[in-house]
Amino acid sequence: MTDAREPIRVGVLGARGRMGLEVCKAVDAADDMELVAMIGGGDWLFNAADAGAQVLVDFTKPDVVMDNVHWAVDQGINMVVGTTGFTEKRLERVRGWLSHKPGVGVIVAPNFGIGAILMMQFAARAARYFESAEIIELHHPRKLDAPSGTAGHTARLIAAARAEAGRGPVPDATSEELPGARGADIDGVRVHAVRSAGLIAHQEVLFGTQGETLTIRHDSLDRSSFMPGVLLAVRAVVDRPGLTVGIDDLLD
Amino acid sequence: MTDAREPIRVGVLGARGRMGLEVCKAVDAADDMELVAMIGGGDWLFNAADAGAQVLVDFTKPDVVMDNVHWAVDQGINMVVGTTGFTEKRLERVRGWLSHKPGVGVIVAPNFGIGAILMMQFAARAARYFESAEIIELHHPRKLDAPSGTAGHTARLIAAARAEAGRGPVPDATSEELPGARGADIDGVRVHAVRSAGLIAHQEVLFGTQGETLTIRHDSLDRSSFMPGVLLAVRAVVDRPGLTVGIDDLLD
Amino acid sequence: MTDAREPIRVGVLGARGRMGLEVCKAVDAADDMELVAMIGGGDWLFNAADAGAQVLVDFTKPDVVMDNVHWAVDQGINMVVGTTGFTEKRLERVRGWLSHKPGVGVIVAPNFGIGAILMMQFAARAARYFESAEIIELHHPRKLDAPSGTAGHTARLIAAARAEAGRGPVPDATSEELPGARGADIDGVRVHAVRSAGLIAHQEVLFGTQGETLTIRHDSLDRSSFMPGVLLAVRAVVDRPGLTVGIDDLLD
Amino acid sequence: MTDAREPIRVGVLGARGRMGLEVCKAVDAADDMELVAMIGGGDWLFNAADAGAQVLVDFTKPDVVMDNVHWAVDQGINMVVGTTGFTEKRLERVRGWLSHKPGVGVIVAPNFGIGAILMMQFAARAARYFESAEIIELHHPRKLDAPSGTAGHTARLIAAARAEAGRGPVPDATSEELPGARGADIDGVRVHAVRSAGLIAHQEVLFGTQGETLTIRHDSLDRSSFMPGVLLAVRAVVDRPGLTVGIDDLLD
């Protein structure tokens, strides 16, 4: 399908960071893309424009990403942004910039892992049919926050789906609890964070009803797992003007 | 919501069998249903009509179920059928009978477990995004067939989804194999059947791509797990004339 | 081996309770045992002596079990006790009674599941070789305590094995925690209690070190799983005078 | 304990290979060892002797390892060998060389992963108590053989333990099997080999009996997981003259 089209011309911002390097490799290896610019900290952004980039992928830092987006939108270059720190306020500012550039697209995603996104979609869909729902996330012991952002997000999706289906609280007769044993409570969904050497990034969502359980588990081994999602976003953004948050809608 | 409606009047055929008894209990416990007839082998079918049944649930035997369906359709009574042995030819005959009774509905389902159905739906959806897909089903050692019907069905769904997404064969460099080690091949999807004391009925579908895996697992502990699906079908069939195969479409 | 011996003559106390009934069935089905007395609440204990019981199995209540043990020891009948509520003080009293009856044996065990006992033995053995150790127990939502007694016991075994091997605290950089996310802390080992419909009684012990994890998981489906352990104790107690706590030492 | 001793002087053969480099890093990072020689292909072995190495770790090739071992034993230097290809005949030759050097130790191990070894030890121990035993190994799709050597070895250990305990065949009523569904048969133990992108090296051993299952799972993420076992062997070999095969006996 793509061979009738010209390759998409892609530039990478934050190209010397760990994620940036992975993106460069992935773009370079994709048949339907051409890597036209690798911009690191201190490099001149205009190189990307000079190289004719149609899409910029940004894995930089929260303190520079807004300037990058502003500049790219201004130049009429589409963006795929994986840099963290996007609050609703920041998203609103991006929307403002884009309102003056109707043909330009920006995709901002907190997570490009297709497996993680499917896990969350499936969890949201299963939630309405089961009495119980509980989350166990498991990560390496150097992680600072517990539970993970993905686990928190999944819990809120489940809680919303349960509410919509008219489900009450999950059954739980616990009357004698050692503090913390039942995990953290996020909108009524219990979340447990396991930390162990030898782990990387894993999450299990358990649903149960009379006589059966359904478990959805995602295991992420390294950041290369984000690349299929980044490439999916690069392909999508050229035909998707305006702001898109998350890559959920790009699946199907 | 249902309290504005009259309870659905339900009769059970095969009421003295193990599944039949479970259905009687489940119908009896449901607020929006009334159990009006329990018909066992040798009992008079007309009792169900006399009792004013609107829906008959049939967990009988392959050699009597067709007569039951024919009779019920003729009487204008809706049916929910869990009895096994429905070939395409049998379904065609049911469609024929229903063509003369436009208001009557029949739902025939090989599996009423909502968890199993969601597992299959999720598997079909995930299949397009992952390089690899493989199935492990685990059952008690008294099971006669390997792999299970559910595993075979899941494999075919995955194979179809992969084909539609233009995916080629799963990667597999195996060149030296002890016979059977790589499982059975169903349309290019490998299926492994584990048999062990202490197990009941379980299935795991594993998807993998560079750097990540997604696993969907269903554990079924006893036949009570089918009851939510049976009740869902009873509620649906009164507003669903014609033949419905499987309860997939009743979810959402 | 046992065919040269007379069958062991076994009586069951609490024979009309759920566990008692299972024990009666299991003793009856064992080739090397004879079920000679089934004593329920209100029945006459002396019937067991009259029937020539060599071993009494007691699954009764905390408020009657001490009288039963006292009487049996006095009569020179061995006992296998699964009734709960044995404090160190109670065990001391049993030791006192036995000191006057050197030929009589009593085995008191909080758990007769061989799988659970092996899980704990393996966990204690693995603990010394891994940097990290963490426990996830999963039970039906009607359970009152969290975590389970087995999980607490396993955590203490792991902590002791780590201390003996000179291991310091498990690595954990968590600095921002939603209360409860990291589970309960039992002697430095984190324990998570999951509660869900569709579950019965399960426990997973996770060990991790650089580049690898080892997981030991026990799934218990019903109380029949305790019977092999009860029979093991019945066979052992006839040659094992004095008090034995737990069936760990009977394995191997 | 070790601070009273001089650090162990270690040389690495095959130091430029992937495993060799990992060993160099691990030795260098160990407080109780000193890395005194890194010998690659073409380098002069005598450098290791000149540097005063007490232990040589060999991760080279089957065609050079025997010369390396012969030379080291002759020089009175202990060896830890992870190179593959050690047949019984080769081990016999090493024993012959060592018979003339009573103070020298050689440890040859096919697998230095402590987790994998514990998995096998636990499996051998559990095998006698369960009716059923089955193995699922899961690896990346570039693996050539199915099942893995570790899975085959585990199956034979389980079969031997079952035979010793007088256990007959595992229960299995399968009468209708799609070829391969029930896996490969190794001494009566069924072994299933899963191959998927996103996997590395994993094995699950499932034991089952009436009402319960016990699962032992090992996940290996990268070759760094072998290093604790290599260091354990280095520490042990200086006090362990003669030939030791496998590191099993070094655990406890």
pLDDT digits (tens, 9 = 90+) for B18-75: 899 999 999 999 999 999 999 998 888 999 999 999 999 999 999 999 999 999 999 9
- Give bridge partners of residue B55 from the DSSP assignment: B10, B78
Say how far apart CA B83 and CA B111 lie, in whole Å.
10
Q: What is the pLDDT of residue B2?
A: 44
Residue D3 has pLDDT above 60, yes or no: no
Say how far apart CA B156 and CA B158 lie, in whole Å.
5
Of D111 and A167, more confident = A167
pLDDT-based confidence at B111, cuts 50/70/90? confident
> In 10 A of CB B100, how many CB atoms?
9
Q: What is the pLDDT of residues B85-105, one digit of tens each?
A: 898 999 999 999 999 999 999
Residues C206, A191: C-beta atoms closer than 8 Å: no
Q: What is the pLDDT of residues A212-241, one digit of tens each?
A: 999 999 999 887 788 989 999 999 999 999
Q: Which residues of D are annotated as catalytic?
A: 139, 143
Say how far apart CA C222 and CA C75 lie, in whole Å.
34
The fold of B114-221 is Dihydrodipicolinate Reductase; domain 2 (3.30.360)
Q: How far is A51 from chain D (nearest CA, A)?
A: 35
pLDDT-based confidence at D111, cuts 50/70/90? confident
**How many helices (H) does chain B have, and how many strands (E)?**
7, 13
- The pairing of beta strand C201-209 with beta strand C132-139: antiparallel
Q: What is the pLDDT of residue A128?
A: 93
- Interface of chain B against chain C, CB under 8 Å? 198, 200, 219, 221, 225
Q: What is the pLDDT of residues D46-74, one digit of tens each?
A: 999 999 999 999 999 999 999 999 999 99
| Annotated catalytic residue, options A61, A70, A143, A202 | A143
B112-121, C122-131, C221-230, D83-92: range with lowest mean pLDDT: C221-230
Residues D212, C126: C-beta atoms closer than 8 Å: no
3-class DSSP state for residue A54? coil
Q: Which of B214, B230, B251 to mutate to test the interface with A (most CBs of A within 10 A)?
A: B214
* Domain assignments of chain C as residue spans, ordered by start: 8-108+224-250, 114-221
CA distances from C56 to B249, C15, C59 (A): 57, 11, 10
Q: What is the pLDDT of residue A41?
A: 84
CA distances from C201 to C108, C136, D66, D212 (A): 22, 11, 53, 10
Q: What is the pLDDT of residue A5?
A: 75
Residue B247 has pLDDT above 70, yes or no: yes
pLDDT-based confidence at D99, cuts 50/70/90? very high
Q: What is the pLDDT of residue A1?
A: 43
Residue ranges in chain C whose pLDDT is less than 50: 1-2
A49-53, B45-49, D24-28, D222-226: range with lowest mean pLDDT: D222-226
Residues with Cβ within 8 Å of A46's Cβ and at least 6 positions away in sequence, in order, are none
Please compute the mean of the pLDDT values over residues B133-140 and round it to a whole number. Answer: 98
Asked if A220 and A145 touch (Cβ cutoff 8 Å), the reply is: no
Q: Select the CATH number that applies to the domain covering B8-108+224-250 from these four: 3.30.1390.20, 3.40.50.720, 3.20.20.70, 3.40.50.300.
A: 3.40.50.720
**Average pLDDT of chain B?**
94
Question: Which chain A residues contact residue C138 at CB under 8 A?
Answer: 206
Determine what percent of chain B is predicted with pLDDT higher than 90: 86
Residues C115, D221: C-beta atoms closer than 8 Å: no
- Interface of chain A against chain B, CB under 8 Å? 113-116, 118-119, 122, 125-126, 129-130, 207, 209-228, 251-252
Q: What is the pLDDT of residues D157-191, one digit of tens each?
A: 999 999 999 999 999 999 999 999 999 999 999 99
State the count of interchain CB pairs (< 8 A) between C and D: 112
Question: Which chain A residues contact residue D198 at CB under 8 A?
Answer: 219, 221, 225
D67 residue type, one letter: D
Residue A53 has pLDDT above 70, yes or no: yes
> In 10 A of CB B164, how many CB atoms?
11
| Annotated catalytic residue, options C101, C139, C192, C218 | C139
Q: End-to-end CA distance of chain C: give it in Å, rounded.
A: 16
Asked if D31 and D8 touch (Cβ cutoff 8 Å), the reply is: no
Q: What is the pLDDT of residues A84-125, one digit of tens each?
A: 889 899 999 999 999 999 999 999 998 888 999 999 999 999
Residue D1 has pLDDT above 60, yes or no: no
> In 10 A of CB D62, how many CB atoms?
12
> Is D76 annotated among the ligand-binding residues?
no
**Average pLDDT of chain D?**
94
Residue A79 tokens read as 């963006």
Q: End-to-end CA distance of chain A: give it in Å, rounded.
A: 17
Angle, CA C82 vertex, CA C81 and CA C84 arms, to 5°: 115
> In 10 A of CB C172, how many CB atoms?
19
Residues A194, C136: C-beta atoms closer than 8 Å: yes
Please compute the mean of the pLDDT values over residues A8-31 and round it to a whole number. Answer: 94
Q: Is the interface score ipTM higher than 0.90?
A: no
- Can you give the pTM of this predicted structure? 0.87
Residue B1 has pLDDT above 80, yes or no: no
Residue C89 appears among annotated catalytic residues: no
- Binding-site residues of B: 14-19, 82-84, 109-112, 140, 149-150
